[in-house]
């Protein structure tokens, strides 16, 4: 599903860093905090440990089951884990109407980057006390995905080249003024060339130049 079809707002889409062995407990907490919401919990494959969470307001589904039931919608979508293909996660988001949460173990970060690239933005991260990764810090990007940024940068550089004038007279004049002529008629040490101001200010004489040799007086 294209990012333009996603209806949930940016501030309603977040990541809760959580080790795999704490995810079920965190799910129970999230369900209790959103007891009035219609919730779908999605996992890559069928998970028997999650079935106990099924209730009137909570449905546990695999990606395959959710794909077959295309009319399924929910207020809150909780991703128990991430699929290997980003497009599958985008299909999950199509079922959410108000919010989406990802429970992210540290080893799943490689699946996160392609998802953020498709979305065109970074998904914000919120830690839940008691369910963090301890001293392990997740290296989740704080900037826009590189693929999108690089494309935008290349595009801006090309536009700058297209709009740049072939000759910038103002710049040329300023550049010329930086060279200060010394008393001996030379440029600065960096430029060891003669500079004659009169050569530029005085118009060139017209006509041919005749060389006249001095005549020596005859000897008596």
pLDDT tens per residue across span 70-90? 888 999 999 999 999 999 999
How many C-beta neighbours within 10 Å does residue 4 have?
6
In the chain, where the domains are located? 3-151, 169-201
Give the class (CATH, top level) of 3-151.
alpha beta
pLDDT digits 0-9 by tens, 87-141: 999 999 999 999 999 999 999 999 999 999 999 999 999 999 888 765 444 444 4
pTM as predicted: 0.61
Q: Cα angle at 69 between 75 and 119, to 5 degrees?
A: 55
End-to-end CA gap in the chain: 114
Q: Which is nearest to 92 in space by CA: 103, 78, 106?
A: 78
pLDDT digits 0-9 by tens, 36-65: 999 999 999 999 999 999 999 999 999 999
127's tokens? 């830690």
Higher pLDDT, 148 or 82: 82
- What is the band of 2 on the pLDDT scale with cuts at 50, 70, 90? low
CA distance 82 to 61: 13
- Which residues have a Cβ under 8 Å from the Cβ of 122 and sit 6 or more positions away? 116, 140, 141, 142, 143, 144, 145
CA distance 219 to 217: 6
* Residue 13 backbone zone (phi > 0: left; psi -120 to 50: alpha; other: beta): beta
């Amino acid at each position: 599903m294209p990012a333009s079809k996603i209806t949930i707002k940016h501030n309603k889409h977040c990541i809760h860093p959580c080790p795999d062995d704490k995810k079920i407990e965190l799910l129970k907490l999230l369900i209790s905090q959103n007891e009035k919401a219609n919730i779908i919990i999605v996992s890559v494959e069928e998970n028997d440990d999650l079935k106990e969470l099924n209730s009137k307001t909570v449905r546990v589904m695999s990606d395959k089951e959710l794909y077959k039931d295309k009319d399924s919608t929910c207020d809150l979508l909780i991703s128990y884990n991430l699929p290997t293909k980003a497009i599958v996660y985008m299909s999950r988001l199509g079922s959410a109407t108000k919010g989406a949460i990802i429970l992210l173990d540290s080893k799943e970060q490689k699946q996160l980057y392609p998802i953020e690239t498709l979305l065109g933005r970074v998904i914000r991260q919120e830690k839940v006390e008691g369910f963090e990764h301890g001293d392990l810090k997740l290296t989740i990007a704080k900037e826009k995905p590189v693929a999108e940024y690089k494309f935008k940068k290349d595009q801006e550089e090309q536009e700058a080249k297209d709009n740049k004038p072939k000759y910038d007279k103002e710049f040329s004049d300023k550049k010329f003024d930086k060279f200060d002529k010394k008393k001996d008629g030379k440029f600065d040490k960096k430029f060891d060339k003669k500079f004659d101001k009169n050569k530029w200010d005085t118009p060139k004489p017209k006509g041919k130049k005749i060389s006249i040799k001095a005549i020596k007086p005859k000897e008596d």
